[in-house]
A and B are shown apart, each in its own frame.
Chain A
């Protein structure tokens, strides 16, 4: 006598029936809501979506309960709710991106990346001139800021996490306070100290210093978290091999946390790449190319966007939106690059 093999099941998996039921519940909810909105004084698109959604949840609950039982029904409804939250959050992000792309793409042309605003008159179309000087400015300012604040931030993190000196709690308190500094204050600080008192004038370097002030606490705290993730056993093993403390930090702890430290640096860059306020008083802005960050006013993508969009001319506003789009792309490229660097180092 042979018995049939037991039917394969995937607990928690979706079947065709479930998909049909889900689509059916959604469709029914929309139809019922539509009818209700036609026959009653109810109106408004937000109300429509909300009513249909609640109705859909109710139908889904009833159906799942009847077919699959209470446990699975609760799981389904919870999954739908959590998924909705995620979708709403993503939708906000997507809308911002879509809006910037929609407004920015018309202003993009090949010259936008290479040309400057030199000899561009108010009546010239948006396809004349470009933001090449602003792209150079952003790269130099953010790059210099990262060069200043990444080593400082990692050293701070090493002090907080590896040396744990007596004043570590005080340092941590100040680092936390620093992360609350309004960005315009960081700009004013460099403006009064560097630009005015020391007579250095506006420059990309001044902007980089203001950005470094903003970046430092982010890098330091993120790097501290990354160092805390290094297992204590590795530190002890290094010391138990006769290593001086400093060598266990430089040879074991920092290399182990390398990709995490790269992430900390990225977080710092992300913190400052779009800053505009501190740049107004340090880089000042410029319509022509100034590749030397040590002296003279420099533009940046965020400054460029800010100064174009305040203008009344449609061509200028178009350039501003294009700059905003390029800024997003630059940040995205920096992120991808840092991720790749971290990944290849880890793999080696």
Chain B
């Protein structure tokens, strides 16, 4: 397949005078399959520290699968396989002797559907990652407040931390899930269409949260909403693929450039809403 070479955007986002930054997370020649069906082919993508990378593209192009390859969730599906490397701070997460659970601890994930643990209170939900990963940490109260504040939920729930997490509204539940992911202090946070099940005002709230977090955590977000990608991301990668062709990166670069002057006509067509 003769798709254009992916841009090395790692250099583009850095100030010209700075030394090249080692990406926090880097996918090298990643491919993915479900059984014999190839979903992704030859994906190269580097995520620089503390940037927000948006992945856009039509349904079925493998965006979510790519995200799940990054934190080893892909392999949980029976029959799933993959190729290539995923480097977290220079170490392949698929390397020998690396536990999937420790990779997932460092690379957190927020799902499309908000899913707080129904048997736990708001407070317990925030702390659930510590319990599940077996991490001991002092000052749980401070951690709960800090995570909920960073997720933009503290003021709304500070008086009812003991109430069940499932009693919150959809947008609040999603922010609770973000707070839950932050409590284990991940290096990277993957978000799989986190706003697609939410109303506009909750979406705006979560976008604010993402923008604030983007200065502390490396974020990769899959979104169907082009305006959202333009609003919140530093770098955008445009994926293309369908039932017959595995997904590849058509174009990748700083968000402002990709949306104003796309290099590939297919990118322009997609951004203009002419397909997808």
B-facing mask of A233-257, CB < 8 A → 1, else 0?
A: 1101111111110011001100110
Q: Which of A252-274 contact B (CB under 8 A)?
A: 252, 255-256, 258
Question: Is there contact, CB below 8 Å, between A256 and B117?
Answer: yes
Question: Is there contact, CB below 8 Å, between A231 and B115?
Answer: yes
- Beyond A241-B105, A242-B104, whether A248 also contacts B132 by CB under 8 A is yes
User: Within the complex, which residue of A164, A234, A240, A247 is in contact with B117, where a contact is CB–CB below 8 Å?
Assistant: A234
User: Within the complex, which residue of A238, A244, A256 is in contact with B118, where a contact is CB–CB below 8 Å?
Assistant: A256
By a CB distance below 8 angstroms, the chain B residues around A248 are: 132
Other CB < 8 Å A-B pairs besides A237-B177, A242-B133, 12 of them? A233-B113, A233-B115, A234-B117, A236-B73, A238-B128, A239-B100, A241-B133, A241-B181, A242-B101, A243-B104, A252-B128, A255-B119
Smallest Cβ-Cβ distance to B190: which chain A residue = A240
Smallest Cβ-Cβ distance to A164: which chain B residue = B78
Query: Which label, helix, strand, loop or mixed, suits the secondary structure of the A interface?
Result: helix
- Beyond A248-B132, A251-B131, whether A240 also contacts B115 by CB under 8 A is no
By a CB distance below 8 angstroms, the chain A residues around B100 are: 239
A270 to B204, CA, bound (A): 53
By a CB distance below 8 angstroms, the chain B residues around A255 are: 119
A255 to B117, CA, bound (A): 10
By a CB distance below 8 angstroms, the chain B residues around A242 are: 101-102, 104-106, 108, 129, 132-133, 184
Question: Is there contact, CB below 8 Å, between A243 and B132?
Answer: yes
A243 to B184, CA, bound (A): 11
Question: Is there contact, CB below 8 Å, between A241 and B102?
Answer: no
How many chain B residues have a CB neighbour from A under 8 Å?
28
Residues of A in contact with B, size category: 20 to 34
By a CB distance below 8 angstroms, the chain A residues around B105 are: 241-242
* Residue B229 CB within 8 A of the other chain: no
Question: Is there contact, CB below 8 Å, between A252 and B73?
Answer: no
By a CB distance below 8 angstroms, the chain B residues around A233 are: 111, 113, 115
Smallest Cβ-Cβ distance to B134: which chain A residue = A247
Question: Is there contact, CB below 8 Å, between A256 and B119?
Answer: yes
Smallest Cβ-Cβ distance to B115: which chain A residue = A233
A255 to B113, CA, bound (A): 21
* Residue B76 CB within 8 A of the other chain: yes
Smallest Cβ-Cβ distance to A346: which chain B residue = B119
* Residue B180 CB within 8 A of the other chain: yes
A266 to B177, CA, bound (A): 34
Q: Which of B77-105 contact A (CB under 8 A)?
A: 78, 100-102, 104-105
* Residue B219 CB within 8 A of the other chain: no
B162: shortest Cβ distance to chain A, in Å? 11
- Beyond A233-B111, A247-B134, A251-B132, whether A240 also contacts B73 by CB under 8 A is yes
A13: shortest Cβ distance to chain B, in Å? 34
Q: Which of A146-201 contact B (CB under 8 A)?
A: 164
A-facing mask of B168-210, CB < 8 A → 1, else 0?
A: 0000000001001100100000000000000000000000000
Smallest Cβ-Cβ distance to B131: which chain A residue = A251
A341: shortest Cβ distance to chain B, in Å? 15
Smallest Cβ-Cβ distance to B103: which chain A residue = A242
User: What are the nearest 7 A-B pairs in CB distance?
Assistant: A242-B105, A243-B132, A240-B109, A241-B129, A242-B133, A233-B115, A255-B119
